[in-house]
Amino acid sequence: MLFLAWSFTQIVCAQEPINPNWDAQKIKGVRQFPYPPYEGTPFLTDTWRPGKIEFTTGEVADSVYLKYSSFKDEVVYYNKAAGAQINIDKESLNGFAFADTDGRNRLFRKQRFDNSSKGERYFEILSDGQTALLAYRKVELNVTSAYHDLNGILKNMAYNRLYQFYFYSPEKGYTSVRVSQSGLLSKFDSPLQRPIKKLIRKSKIKIDSEDSFIQAWKIVEKAGYQVVF
Amino acid sequence: MLQKIIFILLVVTTISGNAQDKTNLGFFTDRDVYVSGEILLAKIYSPTDNPSRIVYIDLVNSSGTRISGATIEIKNNEASGFLQLPDSLSTGTYLLRAYSKNTVSKLKIIREIWISNRFDGLKNTKQLKHIAGSQTIQEESTPQIKFEGVDASHPTNSNVTTTIKIDEMLLKEIDGNLLISVAQTNPSFESASYIWTSDQGKEGLTEKKGIILSGIVTDKKKSMPAAGATVYLTIPDSLPVFQYYQTQDDGRFYFQLDKYYGSVQAFVQCFGKTTAQRLKINMDELFAEPGNLPDFSQQPISDEFKSNNATNIDAVTFQKVFSQDKLKFQPSPKETFESYPYYGKPSNIVDPHLFIDLPNFTEISRELLPGVKFRNYNNEPTMQVMNAAARDYFNESPLILIDGIPIRNLNVIKDMGTQDIKRIEICQSERYYGNLRFPGVVAIYTTKSDYSRIPDSDQFIRLKLDAIQAQANLAEPEKSEPDIPDLRQTFYWNPSVEPQEMLSAKFSTSSILGKFKLVVRGRLKNGTMVLAEKQFEVK
């Protein structure tokens, strides 16, 4: 939770001048081998983003340039001294955060997911509270119709974004939600759906994107409505 | 108007004058007179503006030799711990010093104590030495703390419950916890704490998180600090703890130990940029230099002191014979340690002793270790590990560990057979730990686990470290064996009592006769050290 309290205004902090050894040595990982090049991207961001990582020990390493691989659900950092891209061991992290190109601060937390494909996943925290709104930024490599890539090589696979959204409560677990007004309303008891709809309308929110969905959820949550898991 | 201004100026001057007198620190022990082989209990009120988490206490004899020490954790500007007094100490006055590394050259608190050798007693001692002419830490005796339930005398082996009443006004002024103690007092040798600022010495780093181990790597050929050397610190454990430091031009290195309590075995190694570089590691002393000492004055030894001393020597000898422990240790705080070794989760784990008996590592690697190539041509052993992702062997030698300690000399393992090895862990990937690259990892855990196979050299130091001292409480007297006499000289010691209007302390007297003192000590928000005490006799 401390992680959430980070001040993103200082996302690229200066390391202690006395000993850069101390921060750098904490990151454990394995060299990342390039993913096969297909249409689309396996990463959430195209460029290296300045960010922070929080270890399971509670320690934080900042001034790290990161990329999140949505394809493998891995965090990759660039180690300048080694000249290598390194997949940070998932076991060693609690989560990470980075500043996106549009200035958005994006926060990811490692959580156990016991629905389909059980294991630890990095979820983006879109809204945190008693019930959190999470996004699993999944990218899959699927077969597509044949195409020629930039080098003229014939290929039939592409990276496709298949983002999944969940409401999460530590006590009740996960429930998936579609990013639409009907998707949001379906997460509440039938008698409550009408007043919620009215509340959204009154707030002049039209749910047509991820951002407007988050905005609507925050208003609904603030009004005290409880998601049914 | 003028009168008003003068009055305000007077008040300000008085307040600032008072503030300068406040010491803001204190160093107290359960008693002032001890016998060698005993355990001394200590409480330190650390300066409130010191960010260090660590305070060192050490014992120095009156000629300036450091004898032993302890590393104690500061919590909320207070620290409490203990010090084992060696059995071999000769009779005389000793100095206890308390300091943090970051302020060691400016400030130490010293306290004089008397220690009698358990075997010689006062046989060869004619006079008592006392510190003369130093800056005493003044304690203000307060009438705002009152005691009930403690009479002028109490019989031996009796239970006493005392109620300590603290005035509401004082209660508001108390900063932090109180120290309550009931222990034997010896009017012939009453000690005080002193501020000692005249020592020369180098200030260390601020140990905000934990103990900082430091040292220097020198190039033996050039006799100069070695830049670019990599220094490893390994603490063998079920999961070995590892840190590294790459030296700069000054050749210095630093490691932080923040999660270890009690005695810790550690290994420090250094490696140069090339294998031909010959290096030497020197560790810095964990404790400060003894430095110069205060002046002492001499006093004759009184008969009362002699008689008390003889009783105490008998008591301590008896406690030793019957193994009566003064302290009861608390479990160390559980820290979040890693869930897997720093070299990564192994891709293969092999237990060689479960297979046929193989005489050497060449055979073991050939028969039992998939993806590990160990060859010993012309007595020049080499090892390579398969890079599973690239489906090829790494060109370089992997990280090789014996019981968690990195080694580079493969001759150490070439003769190891299945009988010598408990387990081998292999990582078939290009691992990184910070800036260190491991082209595969082979971690060998031996059946003996005694680190005897690792050759000693100038580049390798075995350390037995006194990490942060484990918390301990004064042990209760043993009631299960009533025939064994109770010879405690300290009846009660609680260094962390939360101040309240009414406090209660229960203790029982022992079979030791003499004068005892109930003392309550604390620090006020303005830095003044206060105390209230009541003396009683055990008859």
Residues B478 and B523 grouped into a single domain: yes
d(CA B353, CA B313): 54
Identify the closest residue of chain B to A93 by CA–CA distance.
B338
Q: Are both A81 and A190 inside the same structural domain?
A: no
Q: What is the pLDDT of residue A155?
A: 93
The last residue of one of the domains, among B423, B454, B485, is: B454
Model confidence at B3, pLDDT cuts 50, 70, 90, reads: low
Q: Is B124 inside a domain boundary?
A: yes
Query: Tell me: the pLDDT tens digits for B208-246?
Result: 888 999 999 999 999 999 999 999 999 988 888 899 999
Q: Are A74 and A172 in the same domain?
A: yes
Q: Are strands B139-141 and B529-538 parallel, antiparallel or unpaired?
A: parallel
Give strand pairing partners of A87.
Answer: A30, A76
Model confidence band, residue B381 (pLDDT cutoffs 50, 70, 90): very high
Same domain, A208 and A135: no
- List of residues 6+ apart from B472 with CB closer than 8 A: B81, B82, B327, B328, B329, B330
In angstroms, how far is CA B59 from the centroid of its own chain? Answer: 13
Please give the pLDDT value at position B22: 57
Q: Among all residues of chain A, which has the CA nearest to that of B431?
A: A30
Q: What ipTM score was computed for the predicted complex, to two decimals?
A: 0.85
Q: Is residue B373 in some structural domain?
A: yes
Residue A10: what pLDDT? 38
* DSSP sequence for B406-464: EE--THHHHT--GGGEEEEEEEEEEEEETTEEEEEEEEEEESS-S-TTSPPBTTEEEEE
User: Domain end: B426, B454, B482, which one?
Assistant: B454
Which residues constitute the domain of residue A49?
2-177
Query: In whole angstroms, what separates CA B402 from the centre of its chain?
Result: 28
> pLDDT tier at B334 (50, 70, 90 boundaries)?
low
Q: What average pLDDT is seen over chain A? A: 87
Nearest to B410 by CA among B438, B382, B452, B386: B382
Inform me whether the C-beta atom of residue B244 falls under 8 Å from chain A C-beta atoms: yes
SS3 letters across chain A: CHHHHCCHHHCCCCCCCCCHHHHHCCCEEEECCCCCCCECCCECCCCCEEEEEEECCCCEEEEEEEEEECCCCEEEEEECCCCEEEEECHHHEEEEEEECCCCCEEEEEEEEECCCCCEEEEEEEEECCCCEEEEECCEEEEEEEEEECCCCCEEEEEEEECCEEEEEECCCEEEEECCCHHHHHCCCCHHHHHHHHHHHHHCCCCCCCHHHHHHHHHHHHHCCCCCCC
Question: What's the structural domain count of chain B?
Answer: 2
B336 interaction partners in chain A (CB closer than 8 Å):
56-58
**Is A84's CB within 8 Å of B345's CB?**
no
pLDDT digits (tens, 9 = 90+) for B166-185: 999 999 999 999 999 999 99
Per the CB < 8 Å rule, is A57 touching B433?
no
Rounded Cα distance between B108 and B104, Å, is 6
Q: Do A194 and A173 reside in the same domain of the chain?
A: no
Minimal CA–CA distance to B85: which of B26, B132, B42? B42
What HEC string does B195-229 produce? Answer: EECCCCCCCCCCCCCCEEEEEEEEECCCCEECCCC
What residues in A contact B256, CB-CB < 8 Å? 22
Could you tell me which of B272, B339, B267, B325 has the C-alpha nearest to residue B488? B325
Of B421, B454, B487, which residue constitutes the final position of a domain?
B454
Tokens of B203: 């200030």
Whether residue A19 is predicted with pLDDT greater than 70 in this model: the reply is no
Judge whether B389 lies within some domain: yes
Instruction: Look up the pTM and report it.
Output: 0.82
Contacts of B75 (CB under 8 A, 6+ apart): none
pLDDT digit string (tens) for A119-172? Answer: 899 999 999 988 999 999 999 999 999 999 988 999 999 999 999 999 999 999
**A58–B337 C-beta distance less than 8 A:** no
Contact call for B243 and A79, based on CB within 8 A: no
Q: Give residue B305's pLDDT.
A: 87
Residues 6+ apart with CB under 8 A from B380: none
* pLDDT, mean of residues B277-290: 88
The whole-number pLDDT of residue B200 equals 61
**Residues A54 and A165 reside in one and the same domain:** yes
Beta bridge partners of B325: none
Residue B137 is predicted with a pLDDT of 84
Say yes or no for a CB contact (<8 Å) between B342 and A86.
Answer: no
Please state the rounded mean pLDDT for residues B83-89.
Answer: 93
- Mean pLDDT in residue range B112-117: 93
A25 and A91 inside one domain: yes
B434–chain A nearest CA distance, Å: 4
- Binary contact (B244, A21; C-beta < 8 A): yes
Is there a single domain that holds both residue B176 and residue B323? yes
Asked if residue B419 and residue B490 are part of one domain, the reply reads no
- B216 found inside a domain: no
Query: Strands B436-446 and B399-402: what pairing?
Result: parallel
Mean pLDDT in residue range B389-398: 94
Q: Does A24 touch chain B (CB under 8 A)?
A: yes
- Assess whether A91 and A169 both reside in one domain: yes
User: Could you tell me if A164 and A193 lie in one domain?
Assistant: no
- Return the DSSP state at B120: T
**What is the reported pLDDT for B15?**
40
pLDDT band at B471 (very low <50, low <70, confident <90, very high): confident
Asked if residue B335 has pLDDT above 80, the reply is no
Tell which of A137, A154, A177 closes a domain.
A177
B346 CB within 8 Å of a chain A CB:
no
Relative to beta strand B490-497, strand B153-154 is: unpaired
CA R_g for chain A: 20
Same domain, B474 and B413: no
The DSSP letter of residue B270 is E
Instruction: Check residues B483 and A143 and name the one with the higher pLDDT.
Output: A143
Q: In this model, does residue B482 exceed pLDDT 60?
A: yes
Joined together, the tokens standing for residue B277 give: 């570089």
Q: In this structure, is residue B150 part of a structural domain? A: yes
Q: Are residues A159 and A111 both part of a single domain?
A: yes
Grouping H, G, I as helix, E, B as strand and the rest as coil, residue B259 is coil
Q: What is the Cα–Cα distance from A16 to B250, expressed in whole angstroms?
A: 18
Percent over 70 (pLDDT), chain B:
93
Does residue B513 sit in the same domain as residue B372? no
Measure Cα distances from A150 to A68, A147, A153, B341 in Å: 24, 10, 7, 43
What domain range includes position B141?
Answer: 23-200+289-332+470-538
